Amino acid sequence: MISPKMVAAHTSSHPSASAEWIICLDKRPEERSGEDGDIILARLKSVKAFEKFHPALLQQICLCGFYECLEKGITLYRQGDIGTNWYTVLSGSLDVRVSETANHQDAVTICTLGIGTAFGESILDNTPRHATIVTREFSELLRIEQKDFRTLWENYRQCMAGLLVPPYGVMESGPNADRMPDKDNPNNSSPGSSSKHLNKVPSEKILQAGKVLRNTILFRAPHMIRDRKYHLKTYRAQAFTLQMLVFITSLFCVSPVLCFAAVDQELSFQDKYLFYRFLDDETEDAPLPTEEEKKESDEELQDTLLLLSQIGPDAHLRMILSKQPGQRTVDDLEIIYEELLHIKALSHLSTTVSTHYVKFEEIMFNQGEEGTSWYIILKGSVNVVIYGKGVVCTLHEGDDFGKLALVNDAPRAASIVLREDNCHLLRVDKEDFNRILRDVEANTVRLKEHEEDVLVLEKTNNRSSSSSPLKYTVMSGTPEKILEHLLETMKLDSQFTESDPALDDFLLMHCVFVPNSQLCPLLMLSFTYHAQPSQGSEQERMDYALNNKRRVIRLVLQWAAINTDHLQEEDSSFNFLQEFNETVCEDSRLIPALKDQLPELEKIIKQNCEDGRPSQKKHKVLLRQFSTGNDRLQKKQPIRSTDEILFKVYCSDHTYSTIRVPVAASVREVIAAVTDKLGSGDDLLLIHLNSAGDKELLKPSDVSIFSSLSINGRLFVCPREQIDSLTPLPEQEGPSAGSMSTFELMSSKDLAHQMTLYDWELFDCVHEHELIYHTFGRQHFKKTTANLDLFLRRFNEVQLWVVTEVCLCPTLSKRVQLLKKFIKIAAHCKEFKNLNSFFAIIMGLGNPAVCRLSQTWEKLPSKFKKFYGEFENLMDPSRNHRAYRLTVAKLEPPIIPFMPLLIKDMTFTHEGNKTFTDRLVNFEKMRMIANTVRIMRYCRSQPFNQEAPQATGKSHQDVRSYVRHISVIDNQRTLSQLSHRLEPRRT
C-alpha cells in the first residue's frame, strides 16, 4: 500500500492525478465506503479501457481494484513468471519485452502499452507471463487480484471479453522487430502474424537436446553421419531409417536440406532416401565436439532421452495424421484411436473417421464463409470473434468448433482467430462429418412407450469378446427401463466371474437419478414379479423365473457391496435388505435352487447390521477441526454422515460456543445449535472467515461444512450488521518461525514414507460416492464428503508447508538446503507412488513466493535443478495432463493419485454434459464419470506396504508425529511479504 505522503508527492509532480480518488482506491476493499466507491467510479469512467463497461461491472471494479504508481524503468513482472494480478493503464506507458531464450538480457521491445490498455490475462488459466513489462515513464495502474478478476470474468464475461485479446503481437524477425503498433488501436497487431518466423527457432531445450544427440552419435556411432552430394555440393547428413527421420526431424532440431518441401519444418515423409542434418552442421566447416563437450553430452544424455521420449508420441501422432486417410495403416488407426480417447470432442468416434492434422497461422476462417470442416484443438487456443461484439469466448485444448455450419448447412456464424503461435488441430471434412451423423443414427435403437422414448441403445463393437463382436450399449433411458435392460442382459453362466461394466456404472451412479428410497422398491418388484413367457414347457417357465430371481439377487449383492455406508446409515436401506432376505427365504422353499445364494446374502446382512438398526447405533464423536490433538496419531477411520462432531463456533468478540452436531448437518442446523447455546433471539448468520480476513457467507442449505474450511479458517456466527467487524483469530495467522531445525535431522525417505502412510490412511477412507457427491453438489444428497475434503485439504496443507518453511527461513544457505530437502522428499514420494504429495511439494516450490527467490535458486546445485525440471515436466497440463497420465498408466497399485485432477475430470464431464436429455437419464454421462471413479478403485486395489525404511536420525515415531501436525501460513499475501523481506525485488 502507498502512504498518503507518497500520494501527495505524486500528485504534486503530476497534476492530472487526483489525491482523493487514489486515497480511496488505496484502502482495503472492505474498508471502502459508498462515498469512496463513487469517487473511484467517477475517475474510472474517464479511462478508455472502461468506456463501454456496464455500470454494475464498474461498480464491482471500484470495490476490488487497487492503485499502483511506478517510476520510470520499474519491472512490473518478467517473462515466465506466474501471474497474480491483472492491470489497466490509467496514465503513462509501459514497454512489452520478449526474449526467445528466456534470458532477460536478450529481451527485445515489441510494443508499448498506452493509456486505456489492459494486460495480464494469463492469470485466468495460470499460464506463465508471455512477456516482461517495464515502465517507459511514470505510470499509474489499476490492479485487480487473480481471485477477484476471475469472479468478474465469470459474472461479466461478454462485457470483458474484448479486453482479453493481448494488446501486443509476438516478436517479429528482421529489421522491423522493434516497431510499435498503432497506439490508438493496439489490437491491430496480429498475434499470429509472425509465427512463421518464430517457428524456425527451436526452443532452448530442443536446441540443447539436438546438440547432445549429435555429439553422442559422432562419438558412439560416427558411421551414421557421412557426407552426401546434392547438386554438386557436399553436405553432412543423417543416414537414418524413415522412422528415425520422423523422430529426429520432429524433435531433435534437424532441418531439411534445400528443396525438400516443408511447412514449418514438418514433412510428409514419403521418400526414405531424403537426408537431413543437425542445425550445428549448417555451416561448411562445423567443428567436431571436444572432449569436454563429449563428457557433458554423456552426462546429459539420459535427461535428453527423457525429454524426447516425453514429446516423442506427439511427433508420431502428427506424422500419422499428416498422411492422407487412405494411406493410414491399421496400426496407424489404432494409435489415432487411443489418442482420441483423451479428447473430449472425439471420445465416441470410431477408428474409421478421416481426421487430418492441420496447423494454421492467424485467421482460420471468417464469419459468413461456407463451412467445409469440423475442427478439434489438439494444442493451443483460439478466439471466437463476432462482428460488432469482438471476442465472445476462447476455446482451448480438447474443445471443438465448426459443427453448427455443417449441421445447418449455413455460413460460419463467427470468425476463428488463433490466440497463440503453433496451434495444432484435427480437421474432419464435411463429407466424413455427415457420415458420422448417419452412422450414429443407423446404429441407434429406440424403445418407445406411449409414443415417447423410454430407452435408447447404441450398437457398438465389443472389443473384449470374439464370440459376440457387437453389443448394445445404454445411452439414455428412464431409471426403470435401464434397470430392466441391465437385468435382462446380465450373464449367469458359472464361468462369468467379472461384473458387467454397465451394471457397475448403474450401481455407482444411481444415487444421481434414482436414490435408494426409489431403487429398493424397484428391486423388490423386479424380484417378485416377472412376465411369463408365452411359450415353452413348465420346466422352461420355471427356469425362466429362477434365472430372473437369481439376476436380481446378484444385483442386490453387488449393490450392498458398493453401498456399505448407506446400509449402515439409512433405515430404509436396512429395512429393504432384511425384507429382501426374508422374501428370498420364502421363495427358496418353492424354488430350492435359490438357497445357493442365501449364505452370501445373510453374510452381508450380518456384517453390516449386526449392531441393530442404524437409528439405534452409537455414533462416534469426532474432535474439532478433524485434525488437532492426538487423533492424528491414531489410524484414520472413515467418517460417516451420522457421526457427530464437537466444534467451536466463534462470535465477533472471539468468544466461542462448542456445539455437537452430525457431520452432515446443514448450516441451518448449526445456527440452531449455536442459538440454543447462546440463548440469542437474533437472526444469526454463519460465516467462514479465513486468515486473510476474507468472509464467506454460508447458505442455509449447505451441508457438511466443517471439513471444507480453509486450512486456518474458522466458523463465526453473528447478526448481519456485525459481519464487517469480524476479524481473524491470532491463531489463524499460522507459525512465526519455521520448523527446519526439527525436520532437517529426519531422513528424507522416512519423511516421505510417513507422509505416504498418512496420505494412504486419508485416501483409503474416501468412499467412491463422495466423489459423486462432490461433483453433483453434496447438498442434493444431504451426505458428507468429509473424507474426501480432508484428503484434498491435505494436498493444500503439504503445498503450503513447503511455502511456509521456505518463507520463514531467514538464512540463504539454509533456504538452499531446504529446497534440496523438499526435492529429495518429492523424489521419494514419487518412488512410493504417492503422487498426491509429490505434486503438492512441486507445486509448493512453484508458488510465486518461492519461485521468485532467484538468489536461493541460483545457489541450488545443477543436479537438483535437473530433478526439479523433470518433476515440473510431469506437471505439464498440456494435452489434458498427458505426461502425468502416461506416467500413471505404467504404475501398478497401490497408488495415491493426484486427486485434484480426478476431481477436475469429473467436474469437466459433469458441467459439459446434461444429466437428463429429453427427460431421460443421460447414461453416457454416468458411464464417463463412473470410469473416473474406477481409477480410484484401481489405485486402491492392492494394500499399501506399511514397512518403514531403516531409521536414520530421528525415530519413526518422531517423524510420524511431525508429518501429522504440520503448521502452515495459508495467507498468500503474508507469504509474499515474507518472501520480499528475504529477497527484495531487484530494480
pLDDT value, residue 203: 62
Domain boundary among 562, 589, 611: 611
pLDDT value, residue 619: 53
Whether 569 is in a domain gets the answer: yes
Q: How far apart are CA 552 and CA 568, in angstroms?
A: 21
- Do 460 and 407 belong to one domain? no
In this predicted model, what pLDDT tens digit does every residue of 24-73 receive, in sequence order?
877 777 778 777 777 888 777 777 667 666 777 777 888 888 888 888 88
Is 256's pLDDT higher than 80? no
Whether 320 is in a domain gets the answer: no
Is 794's pLDDT higher than 90? yes
Q: How many helical (H) and strand (E) elements, i.e. helices and strands, does the chain have?
A: 35, 31
30 Cβ partners below 8 Å, 6+ apart?
Answer: 693, 724
pLDDT value, residue 674: 92
CATH code of the domain covering residue 72: 2.60.120.10
- Do 555 and 475 belong to one domain? yes
In this predicted model, what pLDDT tens digit does every residue of 680-706 receive, in sequence order?
767 899 999 999 999 999 999 888 888
SS3 of 676-738: HHHCCCCCCEEEEECCCCCEEECCCCCECCHHHCCCCCEEEEECHHHHHHCCCCHHHHCCCCC
Is 497's pLDDT higher than 90? no
pLDDT value, residue 962: 93
Q: Are strands 94-98 and 108-113 parallel, antiparallel or unpaired?
A: antiparallel
Q: Measured on CA atoms in the order 556, 561, 562, 565, is the torsion positive or negative?
A: positive
- Do 655 and 765 belong to one domain? no
Cβ–Cβ contacts within 10 Å for residue 705, how many?
Answer: 22
- Do 940 and 793 belong to one domain? yes
Kindly give the residue spans of alpha helices, DSSP state H, lying in 890-955.
899-912, 923-939
Angle at Cα 911 formed by Cα 907 and Cα 914, nearest 5°?
130
pLDDT value, residue 519: 92
Between 501-513 and 768-776, two packed helices, what is the crossing angle to 10 degrees? 50
Residue at grid coordinates 494435452? 879
- Do 472 and 423 belong to one domain? no
Quick one: cell of 202?
527451436
Q: How far apart are CA 921 and CA 662, in angstroms?
A: 32
- Do 259 and 138 belong to one domain? no
pLDDT value, residue 279: 67
Q: What is the DSSP letter of 328?
A: -
CATH code of the domain covering residue 293: 1.10.10.10
Percent of the chain topping pLDDT 70: 72
Whether 324 is in a domain gets the answer: no
| pLDDT band with cut points at 50, 70 and 90 for residue 196 | very low
Cα-atom radius of gyration of the chain, to the nearest Å?
Answer: 32
Is 194's pLDDT higher than 70? no
| pLDDT band with cut points at 50, 70 and 90 for residue 920 | very high
Q: How far apart are CA 511 and CA 773, in angstroms?
A: 9
pLDDT value, residue 468: 52
Residue 850's nearest CA partner among 804, 812, 814, 811 is 804
In this predicted model, what pLDDT tens digit does every residue of 739-765 receive, in sequence order?
998 888 899 999 999 999 999 999 999
- Do 629 and 607 belong to one domain? no
Quick one: cell of 223?
558411421
548 Cβ partners below 8 Å, 6+ apart?
Answer: 487, 526, 530
pLDDT value, residue 845: 95
Whether 853 is in a domain gets the answer: yes
Q: How far apart are CA 380 and CA 170, in angstroms?
A: 15
Is 536's pLDDT higher than 90? no
pLDDT value, residue 756: 95
In this predicted model, what pLDDT tens digit does every residue of 849-892 receive, in sequence order?
999 999 999 999 999 998 998 898 888 887 778 888 888 888 99
Is 272's pLDDT higher than 60? no
Domain boundary among 666, 699, 732: 732
User: Which contacts (CB < 8 Å, 24+ apart) does range 149-157 have?
Assistant: 149/85, 149/86, 149/123, 149/124, 150/123, 150/124, 152/57, 152/60, 152/61, 152/64, 153/124, 155/57, 155/60, 156/54, 156/56, 156/57, 156/60, 157/393
Quick one: cell of 421?
503461435
- Do 599 and 710 belong to one domain? no
Whether 136 is in a domain gets the answer: yes
Instruction: Please give the single-letter amino acid code of residue 558.
Output: Q
pLDDT value, residue 429: 81
Which of 217-221, 464-468, 564-568 shows the highest mean pLDDT? 217-221
Q: Which residues pair with 373 in a beta bridge?
A: 429
pLDDT value, residue 629: 45
What one-character-per-residue DSSP string does 907-923 give?
Answer: HHHHHHS-SEETTEEEH
Domain boundary among 732, 757, 788: 732
User: For residue 757, what are the domain limits?
Assistant: 743-982
In 293-414, DSSP assigns E strands to 355-359, 363-365, 373-379, 382-386, 390-395, 400-401
Whether 1 is in a domain gets the answer: no
Which of 206-220, 364-378, 523-537, 929-943 shows the highest mean pLDDT? 929-943
Whether 180 is in a domain gets the answer: no
Average pLDDT over residues 479-506: 79
How many structural domains is the chain composed of? 6
Q: Is 28 helix (H, G, I), strand (E, B) or coil?
A: coil
- Do 858 and 762 belong to one domain? yes
In this predicted model, what pLDDT tens digit does every residue of 799-858 receive, in sequence order?
999 999 999 999 999 999 999 999 999 999 999 999 999 999 999 999 999 999 999 999
